[in-house]
Amino acid sequence: MGYSKDQLLARLKELQIDFSQYEHPVVLNVEAQAKYVGNMGGALSKNLFLKDKKHRYYIVSALADTKVDMKVLSQRLGLGKGGLRMAPEEALGEILQVPLGCVTPFAVVNESASHVSLLLDKGLKTQECCFFHPLSNDMSISVNVQGLDKFLKSIGRDPSYIDLEANPLVGKDQPPDLAVLVPSGSTVLPDFPEKAPSLQDSTGNVSAGNNSASAKAVKPSVNVQNVKKKSVDGQRPSIPSADAGKFVEELLDRASALLLSEISEDSIKQHGGLLGAEVANNFRKCLTEDLKNLATIFKNTAYTEGFYAGTHYQTKRP
Amino acid sequence: MEKKEGYLQEEEQVVNPWEVSAKDGGKIDYDKLIDKFGCQRLDQSFVDRVQRLTSRPPHVFLRRGVFFAHRDLNEILDAYERGDKFYLYTGRGPSSEALHLGHLIPFMFTKYLQDAFKVPLVIQLTDDEKCMWKNLSVEESQRLARENAKDIIACGFDISKTFIFSDFDYVGGAFYKNMVKVAKCVTYNKVVGIFGFTGEDHIGKVSFPPVQAVPSFPSSFPHLFSGKDDLRCLIPCAIDQDPYFRMTRDVAPRIGYHKPALIESLFFPALQGETGKMSASDPNSAIYVTDSAKDIKNKVNKHAFTGGQESIEKHRQYGANLEVDIPIKYLNFFLEDDAELEHIKKEYGAGRMLTGEVKKRLIEVLTELVERHRRARAAVTDEMVDAFMAVRPLPNMFD
C-alpha cells in the first residue's frame, strides 16, 4: 500500500521539517496549481515521470520555468538521443502510487519506487521554498530545499541536484555526465532469476542488488540476502556468512556430476578394473581449478566476515 | 616534428597507454614493438623455468605466447630460486563499468602468478587518471573503481595476500613521498617525450605518471612491506603500459630502489578482427562479462571475423586462414587443452572442419568462462571490497 498524504505529512512533522500546506481543488497541471498557490511566495515545481527503453524510471523535479530538453537529458544519461519518454499512466499508479498529475519527489518514499532515479533541478536550491504535491493533488505543500533533502536522506536517498539546462557535449571522450543517475540493473545468464536492480545515489554508493539467492546454489558457501540497502541511519547491512555446509554441498555436487559422467557402460568396458584410477585422475585434471576457485570464494567470504566483525568491535572496558 | 621516444613516426604504428593503432589499418607488428621499446622476447626456456620453479603446468597464456615479452624476468626468477621472494603489481584504469574479456586477461594471469609463486599482490585502480583523461567526476570515477574492483576480485584473488587500492583513497604518506622522489627525477621534456603531452594538456596529466610508477617500490606500502626495502616487484601488464615502467626503471636506481620487472601481453583482438578496435560504444566488438549465453552465441556467430572461405567447397579445398581467424585466436587465449586446440587448428586449416564448428566450441568455452566469472562476481559484496581495500597488514602474504 502506498504512503498516504497524511502519513507523509506526519512523517515530515516527525522529522521536524518546516512546511506550509495549502488545500485546493484537485489540480492536474502546473497552470491549474498556479491559480491557487501561485502567489503564496513559494516557487512552483514541475515534475515529470519518465522511462527509458530498458524500463528504468526517473522523476525529474524542476522549477516550473526551467527548460527541460528530453533529448539532451537522454544523452546526458547515456541513453542515446531518443532514449527517454514520458512514462505511461499505469506506471504512475503502479510504481509511484500517486494519481495522475501528482508526480512529486516525495513519491520515492514508496517501496515500489525504490529503483526510480530522482533528478532534482539545481534551480530548486535558489528558491526560498518550493511547492510540491504531498502524494495527493488536492494539496500543495511548500518546503525549502533543506527540508526536502532531510526527508530524502531519512529514506536513504542522497539528493542529487543537477543543472537541467546545461547541454554538455557527449561523445567518445566525454562520457554522459549524468550516467551515474541511471538506475542500474544487470543482465543475467539464463537459468538464473533476474537480479533486483540496485539503488544508486549520487555519491556512488551502490547498494548491492547484485546478490541473488538463487536455488541453484549460485554461491557455494554464501548466504546472501537480496538487495542490501545501506540506509543513512547507520543500520548494519547484513553480512553474508561463509557457510561450510553449503560449500561442501557445492563441492560434492560438482564431484558427483563428474563421477556420474565418467562412469558409463562404455567407460567400464574400456577400463575395467582400472576405471577407478582413471576416474581419480580425471577428477584431478578437471576439478582442481574449479574447486580451488570455490575454495577461494569461501576463504574470502570468511575473511570478510571476520574483518567486518573486527573493525566494528568496541572494546568493553569496565 | 621531432621524433619522440616511444612514439614512432606518423605512418607507423602507435602504441602508448592511451592509443593503440597499427600501421595502415593492418596488424600490430610485435617484433618491431619489442625492438622499439627495448624489452625482451619471452622464449620457451622461460616457460620451462617457470614450470620447474613452481612445480605446476605453466598458465595457458604462457604456453600460447599471450604473455610474450619481459624485462628482467630472469632476475626475478634467479632471486626466487635463491629464496628471495617478490611481489606482484598490476592495475586497472576504471573508465567504464562494463568489463570485457580483454580487460580480464592481465588479472587472470596475475592470479595464476600469485598462486604459482605464492606471493602478495597490490592492485592499483587509477580513478584519478580516468577522472582526468575521461573527464569523469571524482565521484563517478570512484564509483567505477569500486565496481571494477568487484569484477577483479571475482577473478579469484586471495584476500589474505592481496591489497586493492584506489588512488583517490590511498595517495598520501609514504606513497606520496615516493611520488615526489620519482617526479624530481623526470624532467618536463622527458615526460613530454615519453607520453606525448602538449602545451594544451592540463597539469594533472603531466604530473600523473609518478602515480603509476611508485607502486613498483615496496616502501610505498609501509603497512605491507615495512623493513623489506629490498623486495623486488614484478608487473604483469599489456605492452602498451611499457612507457610508464620504462620511465620507472630509469628512475629507480637513482633513488636507490630495484628496477621493477615486467611481463607483458599482446593486445586482445576485437571480434571484428585484428584491425578492428574494441570500443566501449560498440557492444558487438567484444564479449562482456555481463553478456548472457544468448548474447555470446549471437556475438560470436554474427560478428566474429573468420578466416573461413566463402563457400563450403572452397573451404574444403583451401582450408581456413588461421592468421586472421578470430575464433581461433580467441580459442588460443581461452581453450585450456593444448591437444584439442592443435587438433582444431589442423582440421580447420586443412578445411576438414567448418567455421560453424569452431565457433560452436568457442561459444562453449566463452560461456563457461563468463558463467564462472558471473557466479564469482555475485559472491562479492561491498564488505568484501572494503576488506580487500582496507589498509591492513597481510601477515601470511608469502605462504
- Condensed to tens digits (0 to 9), the pLDDT of residues A62-110 reads 888 888 888 888 888 888 777 888 888 888 888 888 888 888 999 888 8
Chain A nearest-CA residue for B115: A292
Chain A stretch 50-89, residues whose beta carbon is closer than 8 A to a beta carbon of chain B: none
Q: How far apart are CA B303 and CA B284, in angstroms?
A: 7
Mark whether A159 and A249 lie in a shared domain.
no
**Would you state the pLDDT for residue A242?**
83
Say how many domains are in chain A: 2
Number of Cβ atoms within 10 Å of the Cβ of B97: 19
Q: Which of B111, B155, B157, B382 to mutate to test the interface with A (most CBs of A within 10 A)?
A: B382
Task: Please count the other Cβ atoms lying within 10 Å of the Cβ belonging to residue B364.
Answer: 14
Residue B150 touches partner A, C-beta closer than 8 Å: yes
Query: Domain for residue A194, yes or no?
Result: no
The pLDDT score that the predictor gives to residue B391 is 96
Give yes or no: residues A292 and A176 share one domain: no
Distance from CA of B135 to the nearest CA of A (A): 6
Q: For position A234, what pLDDT does the model report?
A: 40
Q: Which CATH superfamily is domain B14-271 in?
A: HUPs (3.40.50.620)
Chain A residues inside the 8 Å CB shell of B115: 292
Please, what is the angle between helix B242-251 and helix B188-195, to 10°? 150
Interchain CB contact of A198 with B (< 8 Å): no
C-beta atoms of A307 and B142 within 8 A: no
Among A147, A181, A215, residue at a domain's last position = A181
What is the domain range of residue A35? 5-181
Burial-class residue A258 by CB neighbours within 10 Å (0-12, 13-18, 19+): middle
Contact flag A237-B383 (C-beta cutoff 8 Å): yes
Looking at residue B150, its pLDDT comes to 96
Domain membership flag for residue A211: no
Residue that is last in its domain, among A164, A181, A198:
A181
Are the C-beta atoms of residues A179 and A169 closer than 8 Å to each other?
A: no
Instruction: State ipTM.
Output: 0.86
Shared-domain flag, residues A142 and A41:
yes
Specify the pLDDT at position A3: 81
| For residue A200, pLDDT beyond 70 | no
* All cell numbers assigned to B30: 610485435
CA-nearest residue to B155 within chain A is A293
Return residues 169-198 of B near A (CB < 8 Å).
Answer: none
Listing DSSP states for B242-263 in one string gives HHHHHHHHHHGGGGT-PPPEEE
How many Cα atoms occupy the beta-carbon half-sphere of A36 within 13 Å? 21
Sequence-distant (≥ 6) Cβ neighbours of residue A245 within 8 angstroms: none
Q: Which fold has domain B293-379?
A: Tyrosyl-Transfer RNA Synthetase (1.10.240)
Cβ–Cβ contact A249 with B under 8 A: no
Quote the pLDDT of residue B388: 97
Residues of A in contact with B135 (CB under 8 A): 173-175
- Tens digit of each residue's pLDDT, chain B (399 residues): 343 444 444 567 888 787 777 777 678 889 989 999 999 999 999 999 999 999 999 999 999 999 999 999 999 999 999 999 999 999 999 988 889 999 999 999 999 999 999 999 999 999 999 999 999 999 999 999 999 999 999 999 999 999 999 999 999 999 999 999 999 999 999 999 998 899 999 999 999 999 999 999 999 999 999 999 999 999 999 998 999 999 999 999 999 999 999 999 998 999 988 776 666 667 888 999 999 999 999 999 999 999 888 888 888 888 889 888 999 999 999 999 999 999 999 999 999 999 999 999 999 999 999 999 999 999 999 999 999 999 999 999 998
Chain B nearest-CA residue for A172: B281
Beta bridge partners of A59: A49, A118
The answer to whether the Cβ–Cβ distance between A219 and B157 falls below 8 Å is no
B347 close contact with A: CB closer than 8 A: no
**Average pLDDT score over residue span A109-134:** 86
Query: Domain for residue A202, yes or no?
Result: no
A303–B294 C-beta distance less than 8 A: no
| Cα–Cα distance for residue pair B201/A273, rounded to 1 Å | 73
Return all residues near A4 (Cβ < 8 A) that are at least 6 apart. Answer: A135, A136
As given in the structure block, the three cell numbers for residue A149 are: 533533502
Q: How far apart are CA A51 and CA A58, in angstroms?
A: 6
In the prediction, which pLDDT does B290 show? 92
Together in a domain, A175 and A272: no
Q: Say how many Å lie between the first and final Cα of chain B, rounded.
A: 53
Q: What does the pLDDT average to over A204-224?
A: 36
CB contact under 8 A, B371 and A187: no
Task: Decide if A266 is inside a domain.
Answer: yes
Between chains, do B292 and A190 touch, taking CB under 8 Å as contact? yes
Question: B124 and A161 in contact (C-beta within 8 Å)?
Answer: no
Q: What are phi and psi of B193, to 5 degrees?
A: -65, -40
- Check residue A91 and give its pLDDT: 84
Q: What is the pLDDT of residue A21?
A: 87
Confirm whether A234 is domain-assigned: no
Contact A222 B158 (CB under 8 A): no
Positions of E strands within chain B: 14-16, 19-21, 40-41, 67-71, 86-92, 121-125, 162-166, 232-238, 261-265
Do A176 and A262 fall into the same domain?
A: no
Q: Note whether residue A216 is domain-resident.
A: no
Give the chain A residue nearest B144 (alpha carbons): A204
Arithmetic mean of pLDDT, A184-195: 40
B150 and A210 within 8 Å at the Cβ level: the answer is yes
Q: Is position A28 within any domain?
A: yes
Query: Does the CB of A308 have a partner CB in chain B at under 8 Å?
Result: yes
Report which of residues A41 and B379 the model is more confident about. Answer: B379
For A1, the 3-state DSSP assignment is coil
Q: Which residues contact A48 (CB under 8 A, 6 or more apart)?
A: A58, A59, A60, A61, A62, A68, A86, A103
At A164 the pLDDT is 85
Asked if residue A32 belongs to a domain, the reply is yes
* CATH code, domain carrying A101: 3.90.960.10
Per-residue pLDDT tens over the stretch A265-303: 888 888 888 888 888 888 888 888 889 889 999 999 999
pLDDT at B49: 96
A83 close to A53: Cβ distance less than 8 angstroms: yes
Q: How many CB atoms lie within 10 A of CB A144?
A: 18
pLDDT score for A231: 37
* DSSP structure class, residue A29: S
Same structural domain for residues A160 and A256? no
Question: A304 touching B, CB under 8 A?
Answer: yes
Q: Is the distance from CB of A289 to CB of B156 less than 8 angstroms?
A: no
Domain boundaries, chain B: 14-271, 293-379
CA distance to partner chain B, nearest, from residue A230 (Å): 10
Which of A75, A172, A221, A296 would you mutate first to test chain B, the one with the most B CBs within 10 A?
A: A296
Size of interface A-B (CB pairs under 8 A): 113
- Domain end call among A139, A165, A181: A181
A163 and A69: one domain? yes
Q: Helices (DSSP H) in A80-185: which residue ranges? A: 89-91, 145-154
For residues A139 and A258, membership in a common domain is answered with no
Name the residue among B389, B91, B391, B67 with its Cα closest to residue B213.
B91
Q: Are residues B369 and B306 in contact, defined by beta-carbon separation less than 8 angstroms? A: no
